Amino acid sequence: MPCDLILALDVPTREDAAPILRQLRGQLRWVKIGLQMFTAYGPNYVREVAGMGFNIFLDLKLHDIPNTVAKAVESLGPLPISMLTIHTSGGAEMMRAAVAAQQKTNPKLLILGVTVLTSTDAAGLNETGVNASPEEQVARLGQLAAKSGVKGLVCSPLEVAMLRGKLPADMQLITPGIRPASEAGKDDQKRVMTPADAARAGSTYIVVGRPILQAADPAAAARAILAELSSS
């Protein structure tokens, strides 16, 4: 399965995003809009970016009681989005409700379950009362998501190979925490991997933000990552 690139549009304002999106138009297909930009600009910004020709991954990490999450999915479903995140730690009933709402409002929308955030290590899990390792917790939540009808997961690239051995073959795995070798260790992501290594491990998509957003030439940085993926 080929691996594709998603840009994490994690910038403060739409004015910061605009020149980057103009440069990347036609260079890559996918843009991830997260909580910061969605909170600031709302659904119309999703429509605006989609109107530029990008496929939209809306990363809101919904986590609430089942009915509330289902209603949120119903509200978001009509937007021009292709992926939407929920937290797998919300449990099986919540995930089933989200999938049912997705099927009702937007059958083509891929619900993605977030397992363990890539900023969380074993010590961070322990602080919240989870005594398992990140890998053990990812496996537990990933299997629960699959049983609940979720068809995609967000996970660290370090857990992709393990998940490929435990989940259905058609499960899509989306991996943030991707850094070129020269950039690893420079920010708050603790569980990271290079683009080529993530592709070889079995990632369906990789999510890259700062290495593109902060590059002197974002389009060139994106092309270099896409070339690395195509040769892996």
For residue range 167-200, what is the model confidence (pLDDT) as tens digits? 999 999 999 888 775 564 445 455 568 898 899 9
Q: Which CATH superfamily is domain 4-230 in?
A: Aldolase class I (3.20.20.70)
Q: Could you write out the DSSP letters of every residue in 147-181?
A: HTT--EEE--GGGHHHHHTTS-TT-EEEE--B--T
Domain ranges of the chain: 4-230
Say if pTM beats, i.e. exceeds, 0.85.
yes
Task: Provide the pLDDT confidence category of residue 119 given band limits of 50, 70 and 90.
Answer: confident
DSSP class of residue 106?
A: -
Helices (H) and strands (E) in the chain, counts: 10, 8
pLDDT of 219 higher than 90? yes
Task: Exactly one of 32, 61, 147, 166 is catalytic; name it.
Answer: 61
- 144, 145, 149, 153: CA torsion to nearest 10: -150
Is residue 61 part of the annotated active site? The answer reads yes
Segment holding 86, helix H or strand E = strand 83-87
Q: What is the Rg, in whole angstroms, of the alpha carbon atoms belonging to the chain?
A: 17
Could you tell me what percent of the chain has a pLDDT over 90? 75
CA atoms of 189 and 108, how far apart (whole Å): 31
